[in-house]
Structure 1
Amino acid sequence: MSYLVEQPVLLLFVLLALGTALGNIRVKGISIGPAAVLFVALGASAIDPELALPAMIGNVGLALFAYGVGVMAGPSFFSSLRTGAKPVALVASTLAAVGGLCWGLGALLGLTPGSIAGLYAGANTNTPALAAAVERVGGAPDPTVAYGLTYAGGVIIMLAAAAYALRSAPPEGGIDEAAPDPIRNATIKVTRDNVLTVRELTYTPYGRVLFSRHQVGDNDIHVSRGDTLLKTGDRVLVIGPQRAIDHVVKQLGRLSQIRLDEERSDVDFRRMVLSQKQFYGRTIADLELWRKYDARATRVRRADHDFLATDGFILQAGDRIRVAAPKERMADVARYLGDSEHGSSDINPLGLAVGVALGLLLGQLPILIPGLGTLELGHAAGPLIVGLILGRLQRTGPVVWSLPHQSIEVLNQLGILLFLAYAGGRAGTAFVDAIQSPLGLKLIAAGVLVTAVHAIALIGIAKWVLRASGQRIAGYAAASQTQPAVLAFANSATNHDERVALGYALVYPVAMVTKIVIAQLLTLT
C-alpha cells in the first residue's frame, strides 16, 4: 500500500484495471460499466485514505470528457431544440422538478448542499453532474458518498421503468409510430411515358431519394445527372427510405430484374473514409465530386448509422462516404477524399487544445444568480457548453473543431475513468461511515424515491401527453437517466429498434446539460 501511495501513476492504472474488470461483469445481461471504477477507488481509499490521486488527474479527465460530450452532441443538441421541442421540454422540466424534490428531501433530512447534489447525481446516475458538484464544494466527500449510495437504485428502477414502457400498449388514440425506414436501394425500369428529370423526382412525400446510376436501354451505365431525362425503357438506381423508393417506383414504372448496383463494368462504387482535413465541417456539395470527377456521393456512414448524402449534409472527420464514379476515376476520388484510417483517427490537437482551453476559461467566469450567489461553471459545464457550440460550428475558417467519432469515444471514456478514479479516492472513509450510520439509509431511501418519481413522471407524460410508443419512451428514459445500461437493455429487448435510438439521441444532450447545471445550483442551497 505504501508503495502505491508513492506511485500515483501506477495507482491510477491499478484502479482503472480493477474497476474495468469489475464493470464488465454482467448479471442477467446488465453491467455497471465505468461506474465500477468509482467503487473500486472508494474501496481502496477506505482501506487507506492516502490511496488518493492528485486533483489534477480528475480535473483533466473531467475537462476532456465534458468537452468531448459537447463536441459530439453539438449538432444534434441544437437541432433537437427545433425539431423535438416537446420531448426535450418534457425531459428538461422533469429533471428540474426532480431537482426541486431533492432540495426538499435534503431540507427534510438535514442534508448538506453537497449531499443534496450527490443525491441528485446518483439517483439520476449522472457522473458529470457529480463532477460538477464535487468541484463546487471544493473536493469535499459529501457528493461522492451520496452518489455512491444512490447509484445502484437509480439503475435498477429505471431499468424496470424501461421494461414497463416496452410492454405497455400505446394509449387509446395514440400513434405507435413505425420505426424509420433504413436506407435501401432499388433498380427501377421506366415503363411510364411521363417524361421526368432526376431532379424532379428527388423529393417525395416520404423523404428524399438520390439517383446514383442511369442506363438508357441496354447501353453503357452512367452516373445520374440532375437534368437526366428518364424515358421509357431506361433503368435507374434509386437510394433512399423504402417508402420513398416505393413512391418513385409508382411514378416511373416497376422494379427491374437487372440490378444496376451489381453492374460494375462502367460505373463502380466504393466506401471511402473522409480523412482530408480541408473537408471537415464542409457539406457534400462542397466536395464538388460531380464537377471534378463525374462522381456522386450516395450515403454517409457515421458510427453505426447510414445517412443519405444530400447536398447540405455536413461532414465530419472519419465519415465513410459511399461514392459512385466512373471506374477509371475511382482512384482519383479516393486520393481526393483521403481514404486513410490513420488520418480519420487524428485527435486534431489544435482544435482540441484551443476548445478545452476556451471551455476552462468560461468555467472560471463568475455568474451572479440573484438570491443564490455566484456560480462558476467549472471544469464540467464550461468545456461542455463550449464543446456544444464548437461542435455545432464544426470549423471556423482554417480551424477545425470537430473530432473523428472514434477519437471522441476514446477521449470520453478515458476522461470519465480518470475522474472516477480521482473522485472515489477522496471519499472512501466517509462512504464507509455513511453506510454504517442512519444517514446512509436515509440517502438510499431518498435515492429510490427520487428515481421512482423521475420514472413515473417521465413515462406518464410521454405516454399520455406526447402519445409516444413504448420504444420511444424507453429511449427517452435511457437518455433522461443518461444511463447506458438502460439503453443497452432497451436495444436488446427490441432487437435494436430504431425508435429507441432516436428517442435517446433526441433528448440525451439536453438531459446531460440540464443535470450538470441543476447539480451545481443545488450546491448553492
Structure 2
Amino acid sequence: MDWINDLIWGQGVGHSILLLSFVIAVGIQLGKIKIFGVSLGITLVLFVGIIMGHFGITINTHVIHFFKEFGLILFVYSVGMQVGPGFFSSFKEGGVTLNMLATGIVLLGVIIALVLHFITGIPIPTMVGILSGAVTNTPGLGAAQQAYSDMYGVSDNSIPLGYAVAYPLGVVGIILSIIVIRYIFRISFQKENEQLEKAETSHSNEAIPISLVVKNPAIFNKTVAEISSLLEHTDFVISRIWRDSDKKIDIASANTVLHENDKIFVITTEPNAEKIKIFIGEAIDMERKQWIRMESQFVNRRILITKPELNGKRLGDLKLRKLYGINITRINRAGVDLVAKPNLTLQVGDRVNVVGTETAVSNVEKVLGNSMKRLNEPNLITIFVGIALGIILGSIPFSFPGIPQPVKLGLAGGPLIVAILISRFGYHYKLITYTTQSANLMLREIGIAMFLACVGLSAGEGFVDTIVNDGGVAWIGYGFIITVVPLLVIGCVARYFFKVNYFTLMGLIAGSTTDPPALAYSNATAGNDAPSVGYATVYPLTMFLRVLTAQLMILFFA
C-alpha cells in the first residue's frame, strides 16, 4: 500500500497533480451552491486548498510555486485578451463619466485600506490581501504576491489569508450596497426603464439602415463615387438602388448613376443619418425586408472572415465590389454592426454582410474563408508570443526616486498589459488575436483554478491560527468597511450629481469590483442589458487599476 501513501503524502508529480485536481474539482463543485441566491463560485477552490493545507496535505514548494505563477500568467493574459478590444473605446462618450466614477471607487478603497493600516498597525501585505478580498479581485491578490516576492525573495502567506477572510463578506457587501442605494434614492424601476428608453440611442459607429428617394437636383446624374467624394467625412454605403424608370433593383457600385426619384437603400450611422437625408432627398418608410422581397435575384448573406492572410487588410484593398459585383454593407465585430468603409481594417472573426447574386456571393465566400472549423482552431502562436513579451515587460526594472527597490510590472502586470495591447492592435502586425469566447474562458478558468488551489495549499497551515489568535475576525470587519464605504459614497455621488441611471449604476458597482455574482444579481433584478453594459464599460480600466494599485501599495508601503 506504499503507492497510496506516496500519492497522498508524497512529493512526486503524481501526488502534486492528484492533489491539485482534487482541490480544484471539489472547490468548483462547492462553488455552485447558492446561499440566498448568491454563490462564491470558483473562489471556493481557495478555501478547499486552505482546508487541505491546514491538515498538512500540500505540495513540494518548488512545484507549487511553478503551478501558482503559471496559473496566474494564464489567467491575467486571458483577461487582457478579453478586455483589450474594448479597453480604449470604453473612454468614449458616457464611458468617461462611468470610468471616472469607477476610478473613484478604486482609489477610495485604497485610501481607506491605507488609513486602516496606519490606525490598526496591520502590515501592508496583509491589508492588501484584505483589500483584494473585500473587492473580490483575484488578479490584485496575484499582483500583490508577485510584487512582494520580487522585493523580498519569499512569499507572505498573510496576503492570501487576508484575501480569504475578507472575500465572503465582500460578495455580500457589494450586493448590499446596490440594495441600500436603491432605498436611499427610492428608485422606481418603471421610471428608470422609461429614462433608458428615452436616452437610448445607437452607438455612434454602429450601422443603421435607411431608405431614401433621390430628390436633390445637385446629385441628379451623378455616380455613387462622386457622391461619396462630396460626403468625404461621412460614413455611409449605398447598398441597393430601385430604378424609377424600369422598376428594377440593382446592386449599387461606384459607377452607379443616380436619377430623380430613384430609391436607394443606405447603411450609415446615427449621427450621419440626418446629414445624408438632407443631402440626397427624402426618407421613406421602406424596411429591409421589403428590399429583400423585391430583389429575388439577389441574396443577402453574412460571411465569416477566417483566412489568416486577410487579418489587418483594409476592405477597399480586396476590391470585392469591382471583381465580383457584390456590395458589402456592414461588418459585425464583437456584436456591433460597423459601416463597411473602404478604409476599415478587417480582422479574423469579423462577419461581413454581402449582397449580390448567388454565384457572386459564393465566390466571395471562397475569398473570405467562412470556415467555422478554422475559426475554432486556437491561435497558439499569438498566445505564447504575447505571454513571452509580457514576461519580458514584467521583468524590466523601473527606478523611481524615494523607492529603494526598482519597480517591476511582474508576472501579473506585464502579461496583462501586453494582452490588452495585442488584442487591440495585433492585427496591424498580422497577429491573429481572435479566440472563441469558450476558448478564452477555458484558459482563464484553468489559470485561476490552478492559482487559487496553490495559494490555498500554501496558506492553509496558519489559517485557523490567524483567525483565532492573530485578529482575523477584525480583518472581516475591516474588509467590510473597504467594500461598502467606497461603493456607497461614489454610488450616491453618481446618482445625485451625475444622474446615472440606476440599472447602469448597478453595473458600475459590479464592474468596479469585478464581481460576477453582483452582475448576475443586477441582471436578474433589472431585467435588461443596462447593468451588463455598465459592467463592460468600467471592467477593463478597473481590472488594470486593481492590479496596479495592489502592486504600488506593496512597493511604496511594505
TM range (shorter): 0.7 to 0.9
**AA in 2 matched with 1:503:** G
How many Å separate the matches in 2 of 1:9 and 1:73? Answer: 31
Bigger CA radius of gyration: 2
- For the residue of structure 2 that corresponds to 1:298, the secondary structure is strand
Counterpart of 1:252 in structure 2 is: 282
Distance in 2 between residues matched to 1:130 and 1:509, nearest whole Å: 17
Pick the aligned partner of 2:80 from 70, 75, 80.
70
Q: Can you list the C-alpha shifts for 1:348-376, whole angstroms capped at 9, x where unaligned?
A: 22222121111111111222243343222
Q: Retained in 2: the 8 A contact 1:186–1:259? A: no
User: Which of 154, 159, 168 is the aligned partner of 1:143?
Assistant: 159
Instruction: Assess if the C-alpha contact under 8 Å between 1:296 and 1:323 holds in 2.
Output: yes
Give the Cα–Cα distance (whole angstroms) in 2 for the partners of residues 208 and 471 of structure 1.
32
Distance, in Å, in 1 between the alignment partners of 2:525 and 2:270 is 24
CA gap of 1:219–1:410, structure 2 versus 1, over 3 A, is farther
Contact between 2:214 and 2:263, CA under 8 Å: does it hold in 1?
no
1:11 alignment partner in structure 2: 19
Aligned to 2:199, the other structure's residue is in SS state coil
Q: CA RMSD in A?
A: 3.5
2:199 partner amino acid: A
Of the structure 1 ranges 82-91 and 476-485, higher mean CA displacement relative to structure 2 is found in 82-91
Q: TM-score, normalised by structure 1?
A: 0.87
Of Structure 1 and Structure 2, which has the larger fraction of its residues in helix? 2
Alignment of 1:477-496 (within 5 A): 477-496=509-528
Report the counterpart of residue 213 of structure 1 in structure 2: 240
Q: Which residue of 1 aligns with 2:398?
A: 367
The separation in 1 between residues aligned to 2:383 and 2:502, in whole angstroms, is 39
Structure 1 unmatched runs, 5+: none
1:48 to 32, 50, 56: 56
Q: 1:179 aligns with which of 151, 175, 200?
A: 200
Alpha-carbon displacement from aligned partner over 1:294-346 (angstroms, at most 9, x marks no partner): 3333344445x232243255444323333223221122211211111222123
Among candidates 495, 520, 524, match of residue 551 of structure 2? 520
- Asked if the contact 2:104–2:490 (Cα under 8 Å) also holds between the matched residues in 1, the reply is no
What is the count of residue pairs matched by the alignment? 519
Which residue identity does 1:10 align to in structure 2? L
1:168 paired to 2:187:
yes
CA distance in 2, matches of 1:49, 1:106: 33
Residues 440-451 of structure 1 aligned to structure 2 (within 5 Å): 440-451=472-483
Equivalent pair of 1:165/1:471 in contact (CA under 8 Å): no
1:158 aligns with 2:174: yes
Unaligned 5+ runs, structure 2: 150-154
Match of 1:324 among 345, 355, 362: 355
Residue 120 of structure 1: aligned partner = 131
What does residue 407 of structure 1 align with?
Answer: 439
- The aligned counterpart of 1:458 is 490
Q: Which of 495, 503, 512 does residue 471 from structure 1 map onto? A: 503
Please say if residues 316 and 403 of structure 1, whose CA atoms lie closer than 8 Å, have aligned partners that are also in contact: no
**SS of equivalent to 2:172:** helix
Name whichever of 188-197 and 1-10 sits farther off: 188-197
Which deviates more, 307-316 or 186-195?
186-195
Q: Is the 8 A contact 1:267 1:326 kept in 2?
A: yes
Cα displacement (A) at 1:455: 0.5
Identity %, equivalent residues: 27
- 1:505: which partner in 2? 536
- Equivalent-residue separation in structure 2 for 1:283 and 1:457 (angstroms): 47
Distance verdict in 2 for CA 1:117–1:283, change over 3 Å:
farther
Contact kept in structure 2, 1:116 and 1:523, CA below 8 Å: no
In structure 1, the residue matched to 2:211 is: 188
Cα separation, 2, equivalents of 1:186 and 1:316: 23
1:348 counterpart (374, 379, 395): 379
Q: Deviation per CA, 1:94-127: give whole Å up to 9, x if none.
A: 3123112112212322222221110111111111
Q: How many angstroms does 1:164 deviate by? A: 5.0
Does structure 2 conserve the Cα–Cα contact (< 8 Å) formed by 1:114 and 1:142? Answer: yes
Alpha carbons 1:363, 1:381 under 8 Å: kept: yes
Q: 1:131 aligns with which of 138, 142, 156?
A: 142
